[in-house]
Amino acid sequence: MGDVAPAITVSNLGKRYRLQHQGQTTLKTAALRIFARGTPRGEEFWALRRVSFEVRRGETLGIIGRNGAGKSTMLGLIAGTITPTEGTAETDGRISSLLELGAGFHPDLTGRENVFLNGSILGLRRREIRNRFDDIVAFSELERFIDLPVKHYSSGMFVRLAFSVAMEVDPEILIVDEVLSVGDERFRDKCRTRIGEFRRRGKTFLIVSHDMDTIQAICDRVLVLDRGETVLVDRPARAVSEYHSLNALGGGEGPAMREWGTREAEITGVELSTARGGEAGALRGGEGFTALVRWRAARRIENPVFGFALADDDGKVLYGTNTAIDGPAIPAIEGVGAIALEIGPLPFLRGRYHLTFAVHSHDHRTFHRLDNCRAVTVAPDDEHDGSIRLAARWDLPG
Amino acid sequence: MRRQPLLPELIARRELVSNFVVRNLKQRYKGSALGFLWSLLHPLFLVVIYLVFIRLMRFSMRLPHLLVGVMAWQFVSLSAGDAAGVVLGHASLVKKTWFPRVILPLAAVLGNLVHFGLSLLVLAVVLPLLGVPPRAGWLHLPWLIGLQFLFCLGISLGLSALNVFFRDVEHLVPIGLMSWFFVTPVIYSAEQVVGNPTLPGWVAPVFFANPMAALLAWYRHAFLGDPLPAVPLWPGLSMAFAVFALGLLLFMRLEPRFADEL
């Protein structure tokens, strides 16, 4: 198997999205944007970046990660529905993707009509579909309903038919997103059996799931993604434990990044560093950090105020300060420059915290504010429970 | 990625194209008692309404001319009318599966071509009854229909792609169609423009630079033996082809970003 070309080759894959601000698009900028090749202005974020891996023929790869980790983007890029911003995702062989069950189903058409339509979307000839039609219907157990419009199907029936079509397409590569968690228990078992056969025939299988039991049971290797980057690619047991520790660190996607203000003065960059030196994305317990905030002011601005806030993963602000409270007073800014903020040892045991930086006028007109634009993670370094650090001491009186 | 040259890929996926066409047609008439008949009833109702209007306004317009005009206009008006929803209406498909996206507008316009074909068959029966016998000019129809098909396809490609990014398009289309209808000689005769001495000289060439005005002049020439106007028609016909090329270019340019926007 080793010298055969891999079924899927992903190299340095990245996908950047622009965060859209409603109502900001004028026809002129819109027209310009269509034909612009360069990087346009505006907020951007990388749903996926610097991801590389290979999937051998016949291998089953699981992709796990928290919400917003980039799993669906990954599958979309491999299935070819999403165009990468950088890097490549190459596949060898017919792909059948169950990214969303019954995506191609049309409610007004009957089950039979949908089987033919869906089959041809997946790349089958009509003759091939006709040959397999009976098997498809038999597997879905929908013989009695196959000539009924699918809008009358229950969601379980819908799923069964979609799954049956996707399996009968006989793809080289099957991509499945959270599918095995639907349908009733018996049909799920049937699907697992079918997927088992599929794997024994040496086909390649790519699955995204939040169901760690399924992942452990069927995957050869597992890719763990977090915030668009590869955490690791490893054996299922190891990957699942990594996933659990990511979850323990902080659930969910965290609060939304936002950017707003009049832009009379702008924050052009924030550099975080620790006393150990280097970037401070990950802190040890009891460590602090320094933020160097770079600014630009197109015109002279009197008495500006720089602000900082720190929020937890739910977006709740735990601390906030600004130069009006703590000084120094800034008479005026113009051109470019920087201001440094030093934060002493964080009183946290563990968790992820989100940093907000802002510059506004002395009377609270926001020039530029970057909500939750950076995150720092505090890794636990002792065995205390909870999230904050208290000066606790046990004593035996007497 | 599995991107191949467009034409071979379309030929390889021709069954998907025909499945989409069939689905579009079925979907349009599902649940209506008269079903497919509506594709003929609709233009006929329009003809009746226009006839009343023409009478009231005392336009000089004969029924055969009106029939030819309405049938050909229907093709372009249906294609432009449903263009906005062509990609948007398949958002989940576009996001979840890969196939050449061009198939979506292609299938929509092919569906309208089927309607147009049917109405031409009706014309072929009705015109002799109205005293217009079949004539050799009908041999022009293949290239006329082909060119109008490309024109409609270009409109559908361009509008469907643009509407993914600017939903304004779907609101602009009905307004655009309405104004376009009035500058196209569907319910009035082009002679009222060409032979009108009160209009400045540049009006007639500009009038016929409208691809539909040029196509209608040709359709009426082919079907009814009307003389072609003294104004050159090639600018209008080239414009039809240019719209196709531009629409295709725009669509191919925007297609990679569809899934991001839907």
What are the tens digits of pLDDT across the range A62-106?
Answer: 999 887 788 888 988 998 888 899 999 988 887 877 766 666 777
Residue B3 falls within a domain, yes or no? no
> What residues of chain A, 250 to 309, have a C-beta less than 8 Å from chain B?
none
For A197, the enclosing helix (H) or strand (E) is helix A185-200
Asked whether the beta carbons of B158 and B246 are under 8 A apart, the reply is: yes
Asked whether the beta carbons of A278 and A336 are under 8 A apart, the reply is: no
Asked whether the beta carbons of A106 and A33 are under 8 A apart, the reply is: no
pLDDT reported for residue A100: 60
Residue B239 falls within a domain, yes or no? yes
Residue B89 falls within a domain, yes or no? yes
Q: Which residues of B touch A122 (CB under 8 A)?
A: 97
A29 at interface of B, judged by CB pairs closer than 8 A: no
Residue B2 falls within a domain, yes or no? no
| CB-nearest partner of B92 from A103, A113, A122 | A103
Least confident of A43-57, A339-353, B28-42, B173-187: B28-42
| CB-nearest partner of A81 from B19, B97, B253 | B97
Separate counts of helices (H) and strands (E) for chain A: 9, 18
Q: Which residues of A touch B99 (CB under 8 A)?
A: 121, 123
- Report the distance separating Cα A252 and Cα A246, nearest Å: 10
pLDDT reported for residue A165: 85
Tokens of A33: 């944007």
| CB-nearest partner of B23 from A83, A97, A117 | A117
Residues in chain B, how many? 262
Residue A72 identity (one-letter amino acid): S
Ramachandran region, residue B10 (left: φ > 0; alpha: ψ -120 to 50; beta: rest): alpha
Ramachandran region, residue A281 (left: φ > 0; alpha: ψ -120 to 50; beta: rest): alpha
B60: closest CA of chain A, how far (Å): 42
Residue of A121, A125, A174 best to disrupt the B interface, most CBs of B under 10 A? A121
Counting one residue from A and one from B, how many pairs have CB atoms under 8 Å apart? 82
| CB-nearest partner of B97 from A25, A30, A121 | A121
DSSP A236-291: HHHHHHHHHHHHHH--SS-SPPEEES--SEEEEEEEEE-TT-S--SEEETT--EEE
Say whether the peptide bond before residue A328 is cis (omega within 30 degrees of 0). Answer: yes
* Average pLDDT of span A285-290: 83
- Which chain B residue is nearest to residue A107, measuring alpha carbons? B27
Please tell me the pTM assigned to this model. Answer: 0.71
- Report the distance separating Cα A243 and Cα B22, nearest Å: 47
Collapsing DSSP states into helix, strand and coil, what is residue A114? helix
B256 at interface of A, judged by CB pairs closer than 8 A: yes
The DSSP letter of residue A134 is: H
A162 at interface of B, judged by CB pairs closer than 8 A: no
Q: Which of B71, B41, B29 is nearest to B224 (CA)?
A: B71
Q: Which residues of A touch B97 (CB under 8 A)?
A: 79, 81, 97, 99, 103-104, 121-122
Backbone φ and ψ of A322, nearest 5°:
-150, 175
* Average pLDDT of span A318-333: 89
Assign 3-class secondary structure to chain B: CCCCCHHHHHHHCHHHHHHHHHHHHHHHHCCCCCHHHHHHHHHHHHHHHHHHHHHHHCCCCCHHHHHHHHHHHHHHHHHHHHHHHHHHCCHHHHHHCCCCCCHHHHHHHHHHHHHHHHHHHHHHHHHHHCCCCCCHHHHHHHHHHHHHHHHHHHHHHHHHHHHHHCCHHHHHHHHHHHHHHHHCCCCCCCHHHHCCCCCCCCHHHHHHHCHHHHHHHHHHHHHHCCCCCCCCCHHHHHHHHHHHHHHHHHHHHHHHHHHHHC
* Average pLDDT of span B12-23: 88
Tokens of A192: 């697992």
> What residues of chain B, 4 to 33, have a C-beta less than 8 Å from chain A?
13, 15-16, 19-20, 23, 26-27, 30-31
Asked whether the beta carbons of A319 and A293 are under 8 A apart, the reply is: no
Of A169 and B23, the structure prediction assigns the larger pLDDT to: B23
Percent of chain B with pLDDT strictly greater than 90: 51
| Sign of the CA dihedral running A70, A72, A76, A82 | negative
Q: Which of B161, B174, B171 is nearest to B251 (CA)?
A: B161
**Cβ distance of A81 and B20 shorter than 8 Å:** no
Q: Which residues of B touch A126 (CB under 8 A)?
A: 15, 19
Least confident of A306-315, A375-384, B218-227: A375-384
**Cβ distance of A120 and B16 shorter than 8 Å:** yes
| Domain formed by A259-379, architecture | Distorted Sandwich (2.70)
Average pLDDT, chain B: 90
Instruction: For residue A250, give every residue at least 6 positions away whose Cβ sits within 8 Å of its Cβ, in sequence order, or none.
Output: A313, A351, A352, A377
Fold of A8-93+172-249: Rossmann fold (3.40.50)
- Report the distance separating Cα B36 and Cα B33, nearest Å: 9
Instruction: For residue A343, give every residue at least 6 positions away whose Cβ sits within 8 Å of its Cβ, in sequence order, or none.
Output: A288, A289, A290, A291, A310
Q: Please give the residue range of the domain that contains residue B189.
A: 9-261
Asked whether the beta carbons of B131 and B37 are under 8 A apart, the reply is: no
Residue B14 falls within a domain, yes or no? yes
| CB-nearest partner of A121 from B26, B95, B99 | B99
Residue A8 identity (one-letter amino acid): I
CA distances B257 to A30, A168, B98, B247, B260, Å, are 14, 30, 13, 16, 5
- pLDDT over 80 (residue A41): no
Asked whether the beta carbons of A178 and A208 are under 8 A apart, the reply is: yes
Domains of chain A: which residue ranges?
8-93+172-249, 259-379
- Report the distance separating Cα B237 and Cα B214, nearest Å: 6
Interior angle at CA B121, CA B120 and CA B127, nearest 5: 80
A109 at interface of B, judged by CB pairs closer than 8 A: yes
Residue B210 falls within a domain, yes or no? yes
pLDDT reported for residue A23: 44
B42 at interface of A, judged by CB pairs closer than 8 A: no
Asked whether the beta carbons of B147 and B75 are under 8 A apart, the reply is: no
**Cβ distance of B98 and A120 shorter than 8 Å:** no
Least confident of A1-5, A145-149, A231-235: A1-5
Q: Which residues of A touch B27 (CB under 8 A)?
A: 106, 108-109
Asked whether the beta carbons of A142 and A161 are under 8 A apart, the reply is: yes
| CB-nearest partner of A83 from B31, B95, B257 | B257
pLDDT reported for residue B212: 97
Contacts within 8 Å (CB) and 24+ apart, A87-90: A87/A10, A87/A11, A87/A12, A87/A13, A87/A14, A87/A50, A87/A51, A87/A52, A88/A9, A88/A10, A88/A11, A88/A12, A88/A13, A88/B1, A89/A8, A89/A9, A89/A10, A89/A13, A89/B1, A90/A8, A90/A9, A90/A10, A90/B1
User: Across the strands, what pairs with A160?
Assistant: none
**Cβ distance of A91 and B94 shorter than 8 Å:** no
**Cβ distance of A103 and B95 shorter than 8 Å:** yes
**Cβ distance of A117 and B19 shorter than 8 Å:** yes
pLDDT reported for residue B220: 94
Residue B1 falls within a domain, yes or no? no
B186: closest CA of chain A, how far (Å): 32
Where does A19-142 show beta strands of DSSP type E?
Answer: 44-55, 60-65, 86-91, 95-98
Number of folded domains in chain B?
1
User: Across the strands, what pairs with A379?
Assistant: A284
**Cβ distance of B96 and A121 shorter than 8 Å:** no
| CB-nearest partner of B94 from A81, A117, A123 | A81
What are the tens digits of pLDDT across the range B194-250?
Answer: 878 888 888 889 999 999 999 999 999 999 999 998 889 999 999 999 999 999 999
Tokens of A229: 């980057």
Backbone φ and ψ of B70, nearest 5°:
-65, -40
- Report the distance separating Cα A127 and Cα A161, nearest Å: 19
- pLDDT over 60 (residue A250): no
ipTM (interface predicted TM)? 0.74
**Cβ distance of B23 and A103 shorter than 8 Å:** no
What are the tens digits of pLDDT across the range B32-71?
Answer: 777 778 878 888 888 888 888 888 887 778 889 999 999 9
Q: Which residues of B touch A103 (CB under 8 A)?
A: 92-93, 95-97
